[in-house]
Amino acid sequence: MKLADKLLQKILDRKAIVGVMGMGYVGLPLVREFCESGFTVHGFDVDERKIRMLKAGKTYIEHLPGKLFREYIKRGQFLPTTDMKKLSKPDAILVCVPTPLDKMREPDMTYVRSTSEDISRRLQRGQLIVLESTTYPGTTREVVKPILDASGKKLNEDYFLAFSPEREDPGRTDITTKDIPKVVGGMTRDSGKVACALYEQALTQVVPVGSCETAEACKIVENVYRAINIALVNELKMVFDRMGIDVWEVIEAAKTKPFGFQPFYPGPGLGGHCIPIDPLYLAWKAREYGKPTRFIELAWEINTFMPEYVVSRVIDALNERGKSLKGAKVLVIGLAYKRDVDDVRESPSVTLIELLQEHGAQVGYHDPHIPVAKPMREHNITHMRSVPLTPASLKKYDCVLISTDHTSVDYDMLCKHAKLVVDTRNATGRKKRPAKRVVKA
């Protein structure tokens, strides 16, 4: 029997052990789906704190309750560990590690390389390796494969390799990891076959494509599309604001057209692990081929400028009330990058806090999902704690800046008791508010 057929049979019999590298917003949902489908899952992470919490039946991600993982551990289905020697045990290893940008806005492959090296040192005959981390087209072939080949084993003869982009949307409840179609591209035909078979056991729909590069490009295209359209409405917001037109009202009217228009909404900047970063991966790779990516670069410039634009609106609004930003007390509503999650990755709220502090403001934040500021790679605000949102606390601030529109915030109470509200999300626009107190930004 061919090596691929042996692995395929093991997968179909649900006897294959699945390894997941990276116990974060991408890895943990995969653990859940494979455990629910009857597989045994080994969860790997270098962060000892995360592994300790998982073993104690707790999680560090709000929408993934610890009781689920506690039950998987109790049944012997889920084995979280920091011991990379155990990478020899899984039949398939799904790599879900960060792919950030470095200070020069170029892809930082540190985590992908180190993880691939960890796997290569323990690579077993017949193992399937799937990279899920979002990256530029060519990463699986040019970065991961040579590291695995250094083990002395050969692709398709000894191991299988594929790419399948993660498509997580943290906090979303109507669509789960199981329901999101899974794009899979194999480095070889057999690699694609066994990778598709694995995901088909746990997820509703698998979408096979012809190569790893196609799968890598698919995810980049999805996020380039979003980044460019968000940049467009951010630019329109600034233009319409100068013209005295409410961009949110314009978008609500435009989206009544049943064809030819899809609504995107402006904000204080881009956040999350994908849209602020992934388009620049493609722009970087395109330079290797001598091709400019002007739309991508322009979208990045516009979206990156938005926190500065918001701060300028805060300055203007305070000035109109005879107050300087220097020495002013500003409360930022929402530390997370999007509504109703506890995820702070690349959050524009953090950039806003730092810009406001640079201008001499005294800044606090309120976020019902983040009681204590989380550590971040590029920022250090871990000394901050969420301020209770009460009429008394609101009156202490010269300005309340809505950066994230969490649904649990009482915007009626906020608008009633705040001296000044600068709203970047149209959170206050669903009802008529005191015009003199609320400024859109």
How confident is the model over 32-89, as pLDDT tens digits? 999 999 999 999 999 999 999 999 999 988 888 899 999 999 999 999 999 999 999 9
- CATH architecture label of 225-440: 3-Layer(aba) Sandwich (3.40)
Q: How far apart are CA 421 and CA 397, in angstroms?
A: 10
- Give yes or no for residue 380 having a pLDDT over 70: no
- Give the domain ranges of the chain: 3-210, 225-440
- Bridge partners of 206, per DSSP, are 182
Residue 214 is encoded by which pair of tokens? 């196609």
Q: What percent of the chain has pLDDT over 90?
A: 86
Q: What is the mean pLDDT of the chain?
A: 94
- Bridge partners of 182, per DSSP, are 206
Residue 333 is encoded by which pair of tokens? 């509503």
- How confident is the model at residue 379, as a pLDDT? 67
Q: Which of 181, 185, 190 is nearest to 216 (CA)?
A: 185
Q: Please indicate whether residue 35 is annotated as part of the active site.
A: no
Q: What percent of the chain has pLDDT over 70?
A: 97
- Strands 329-333 and 159-163 come out as unpaired
- What's the Cα-to-Cα distance from 81 to each of 75, 236, 283, 405, 435, rounded to whole Å? 16, 48, 36, 36, 55
Q: CA-based angle 227:283:344, to the nearest 5?
A: 45
Do residues 382 and 363 make contact, with C-beta atoms less than 8 angstroms apart?
A: no
- Give yes or no for residue 172 having a pLDDT over 90: no
- Give yes or no for residue 401 having a pLDDT over 60: yes
Q: How far apart are CA 390 and CA 157, in angstroms?
A: 65
- Give yes or no for residue 171 having a pLDDT over 90: no
Residue 141 is encoded by which pair of tokens? 């072939």
Count other C-beta atoms under 10 Å from residue 233's C-beta.
19
- Strands 182-186 and 159-163 come out as antiparallel
Q: How far apart are CA 207 and CA 25, in angstroms?
A: 22
| 3-210 and 225-440 agree in CATH topology | yes
Q: How far apart are CA 395 and CA 418, in angstroms?
A: 6
Q: Which of 329, 347, 341 is nearest to 401 (CA)?
A: 329
Question: 207-239 pLDDT, tens per residue?
Answer: 999 999 999 999 999 999 999 999 999 999 999
Q: Which of 279, 369, 357 is nearest to 333 (CA)?
A: 369
3-state secondary structure of 236: helix
Do residues 385 and 372 make contact, with C-beta atoms less than 8 angstroms apart?
A: yes
- Bridge partners of 22, per DSSP, are none
The CATH H-level (homologous superfamily) assignment of domain 3-210 is NAD(P)-binding Rossmann-like Domain (3.40.50.720)
Question: 4-24 pLDDT, tens per residue?
Answer: 999 999 999 999 999 999 999
CA atoms within 13 A on the CB side of 364: 17
Which of these is catalytic: 218, 274, 399, 415?
274
- Give yes or no for residue 181 having a pLDDT over 90: yes
Question: 136-149 pLDDT, tens per residue?
Answer: 999 999 999 999 99
3-state secondary structure of 311: helix
CA atoms within 13 A on the CB side of 30: 33
Do residues 31 and 25 make contact, with C-beta atoms less than 8 angstroms apart?
A: no
How many residues are there in the chain? Answer: 441
Single-letter amino acid code for the residue at 165: P
Q: Which of 112, 55, 113 is nearest to 83 (CA)?
A: 55
> What's the mean pLDDT in 312-317?
97
- Give yes or no for residue 264 having a pLDDT over 80: yes
Do residues 269 and 348 make contact, with C-beta atoms less than 8 angstroms apart?
A: yes
Q: How confident is the model at residue 378 (pLDDT cuts 50, 70, 90)?
A: low
Question: 107-142 pLDDT, tens per residue?
Answer: 999 999 999 999 999 999 999 999 999 999 999 999
- How confident is the model at residue 381, as a pLDDT? 78
Q: Which residue has the tokens 């398709």?
A: 156
CA R_g for the chain: 24
Q: Which of 344, 285, 305, 338 is nearest to 441 (CA)?
A: 305
Single-letter amino acid code for the residue at 204: T
- Residue 383 carries which DSSP code? T
Do residues 327 and 395 make contact, with C-beta atoms less than 8 angstroms apart?
A: no
